[in-house]
Amino acid sequence: MSELITTHSLGKTYGSRTVVQNLDLRVPEGCVYGFLGPNGSGKSTTMKMLLSLVRPTSGEVHIMGRRMQRSTRRDLLGEIGSLIEAPPAYAHLTGRENMRLVQRLLDLGNGQVNRAVQIVRLQNHLDKRVLDYSLGMKQRLGIAMALAREPRLLILDEPTNGLDPAGIEEMRHLLTQLADGGTTVMVSSHLLGEIDRTATVLGILSNGHMLFQGTREQLFDRSVPDVLIDTPAPERAAALAARWSANRDGDRVRIPGLDHATTAQVVAHLVNERVAIHGVRREEQSLEDVFMDLTGGRGL
Ligand SMILES: Nc1ncnc2c1ncn2[C@@H]1O[C@H](COP(=O)(O)OP(=O)(O)OP(=O)(O)O)[C@@H](O)[C@H]1O
Ligand SMILES: [Mg+2]
């Protein structure tokens, strides 16, 4: 898979404060890349560096294989749609008037504008003034404005901020739909669960450095979930597996934080001791649980 964004040791320092350090982003083409991290971890600063809105203190940004610099900037930015922080629309104008401004500015065709409006499903709200829009509608208009140029890459900073659950669900659906249509989407959130199932690749930022980057599967592989063993003899099984901190948990035995190799060892030991085993499974983990494991229980 080719990468649409790569950075090499990207860093940003304000005065004596390093807010982003040694960042090696790898954003594969055609994915939804979830850029996650708590407030102040450096997500917006990173996205602004990708867009040349903030000058990096160190490192390089490559977009579509070309280094972002003065001579390439205009070309590269022409391929990127973005929505950073507040939606960019003029509140006293209607949705349609805002779209028309974008159309003129970028010299776009009617077809491009209509397509963008339809993707975000605003076609029936275009004659309202933006100040009468709901927050979700403003976000969608911001995305339509970013989409109108048919960018290969879309960079969205916290597009779910402030949305209600239905609005968040709609945004997830929209992002997946865009990626299915071939647009690479990089989207940030400070809430781990918000885009976790939408994103196929995750980058997790903590204090300006990358804690993890890879697919959801790779992330979950790194985690050490509890193992649950169903057995008609939970008391005996728990005693036999005491050295792995096993506990009886109702009709089964729970063993905390077991990797694959140790799980196999425990099962072999129990079978050897003639414990009947009816089932072995890993407890399903949320993204939050996995992060707790990654950070040694400190959270982000
Ligand atoms: N222009 C600036 N001057 C000084 N410090 C800044 C500047 N911009 C950002 N910072 C600091 O850099 C750190 C990272 O900020 P950034 O906005 O990138 O975080 P974030 O991950 O986007 O947070 P949030 O989830 O709140 O949006 C913060 O501590 C912030 O105070
Ligand atoms: Mg931010």
- Is the pLDDT reported for residue 50 higher than 70? yes
Nearest of 48, 74, 49, 44 to residue 59 by alpha carbon? 49
Q: 239-257: per-residue pLDDT in tens? A: 999 999 999 999 999 998 8
CA of residue 201 to ligand 2 center, whole Å = 19
Q: Which residue reads 């629309």 in tokens? A: 89
Q: What DSSP string runs through 131-166? A: GGS-HHHHHHHHHHHHHTT--SEEEEESTTTT--HH
CA of residue 46 to ligand 1 center, whole Å = 9
Mean pLDDT within 18-22? 97
- Which percentage of the chain shows pLDDT scores above 70? 98
- Ligand 1, atom 17, lies closest to the CA of 44
Q: 128-163: per-residue pLDDT in tens? A: 999 999 888 998 999 999 999 999 999 999 988 878
Among the atoms of ligand 1, which is closest to the Cα of residue 205? 21
Q: 191-221: per-residue pLDDT in tens? A: 877 777 789 999 999 899 999 999 988 887 7
Q: What is the pLDDT of residue 259?
A: 85
- Is the pLDDT reported for residue 300 higher than 60? no
- Ligand 1, atom 1, lies closest to the CA of 14
- Ligand 1, atom 12, lies closest to the CA of 19
CA of residue 295 to ligand 1 center, whole Å = 22
CA of residue 43 to ligand 1 center, whole Å = 8
The closest ligand to the CA of 189 turns out to be: 1
Taking CB atoms and a 6 Å cutoff, what residues make up the pocket around ligand 1?
Answer: 14, 19, 37, 39-45, 190
The closest ligand to the CA of 190 turns out to be: 1
Structure tokens at 23: 């960042």
Among the atoms of ligand 1, which is closest to the Cα of residue 190? 25
Domains of the chain: 3-216 (3.40.50.300), 224-284 (3.30.70)
Grade residue 18 by pLDDT with cuts at 50, 70 and 90. Answer: very high
Q: What is the pLDDT of residue 190?
A: 87
